[in-house]
Amino acid sequence: MRALKKLAADDNVEVTAVCDIYDPRRDAAAEFTGGKPFKDYRRLLEHEGLDYVTISVPEHWHAPVTLDAADAGLHVYVEKPLTYSIEEGLAVVKKVKSTGVTLQCGIQGMSDDSYESAAQFIQDGAIGKVVMAHIDYSRNHEDDFWLREPDAGAQPGVNLDWKMFLGKAKRRPWEPNRFFSWRRYWDYSGGIATDLFVHRLARIVKACGLTTPSRVVATGGQYFFNGDAEVPDTFNALLEYPEGVNVLLVSSMANQTRIRHLIRGNKGTIEFTREGFTIEPEALYRDEVQPRSHKKSGGEDMALHHHNLHNAIRKGEALRCDVELGFNISMACQMTVESFRRRKSLAWDRRRQEIVKT
């Protein structure tokens, strides 16, 4: 909402309606934006004058709202991951193509030009054949991770629709932590993989021109925190791509010391930095590969990401993270969740479009 208000004048946009199943949040959103408040998103989709909707809900609701919005002929900005499951992702890709709506997946880091620029260097052979990439997204929580203090005034059936929140997830009695700290539970989230890895993997997929992984294995666990979270606090995954590239993803919620964000080629290495990226040659190729640096324009900015969507709708501008890119990134992260939960190395059958055991 802050991003859209920032763009209001220059992009000629207006928030005309808002929706939330929790009254205090809905009322605050209506006051902040001036939008008409709704309790049920299906009624919001019927509101006259809408061009597109922004879907900012727990992961298990991404697909239902996206599919309904597309059926209503509305363009979509949906937070990452694209959907909660791979099957839902396939359905969303099919729906977007059949309806012709424009969908931007909210991996806002794709509005940083570094990854398109890196892709061009790689295509031009600047680092030779890419063989491996590794990247992390770690944090250091003091008490417990992703745990928010529940609002004391939250009352299901009075000012909060608990049944709607659960949706197709397992029916449970009211549990405040499941509502206010939903990222900690498998019913609504893929944890580190779908909340954090999607951002980092997007950079590698975009720069290296990757599709969907052919094989995935993930490890991790609750190694430090002892709360009621179901998702791991430390999580690592290795993805093998049919393009001949291995990608290593690293994360912990108890230590935020970063690893270098690298794409390794046989002739040189790209390192992503806060300023953009650098290219350094391998010793064997110092005469052939020249050191380079790229200063980024743009950045991990939701306003830029929405601005790109506005231009895509109005002018046909290429999306920074369209439905296919959003799917490729999200499904890879969802495969890591499946690998972790099954304790198996998993493969992707491209022909049948389903996970199989290796």
Is there a contact between 193 and 329 (Cβ–Cβ < 8 Å)?
no
What is the rounded CA–CA span in Å between residue 105 and residue 107? Answer: 6
pLDDT for 166-176, tens place per residue?
999 999 999 99
Q: Does residue 283 fall inside a structural domain?
A: yes
Q: Does residue 295 fall inside a structural domain?
A: yes
Question: What is the tally of structural domains in the chain?
Answer: 1
Residue 277 lies in domain? 110-144+187-357
What is the rounded CA–CA span in Å between residue 277 and residue 162? Answer: 45
Q: What CATH number is attached to the domain comprising 333? A: 3.30.360.10
pLDDT for 31-71, tens place per residue?
999 999 999 999 999 999 899 999 999 999 999 999 999 99
Q: Does residue 322 fall inside a structural domain?
A: yes
Is there a contact between 108 and 221 (Cβ–Cβ < 8 Å)?
no
Task: Identify the pLDDT of residue 298.
Answer: 82
Q: Does residue 285 fall inside a structural domain?
A: yes
pLDDT for 68-88, tens place per residue?
999 999 999 999 999 999 999
Q: Does residue 247 fall inside a structural domain?
A: yes
What is the rounded CA–CA span in Å between residue 160 and residue 2? Answer: 24
Task: Identify the pLDDT of residue 357.
Answer: 84
Task: Identify the pLDDT of residue 345.
Answer: 97
Q: Does residue 118 fall inside a structural domain?
A: yes
Q: Which amino acid is at 326?
A: G
> Whole-model pTM above 0.75?
yes
* Residue 85: partners with Cβ closer than 8 Å, 6 or more residues away: 63, 334
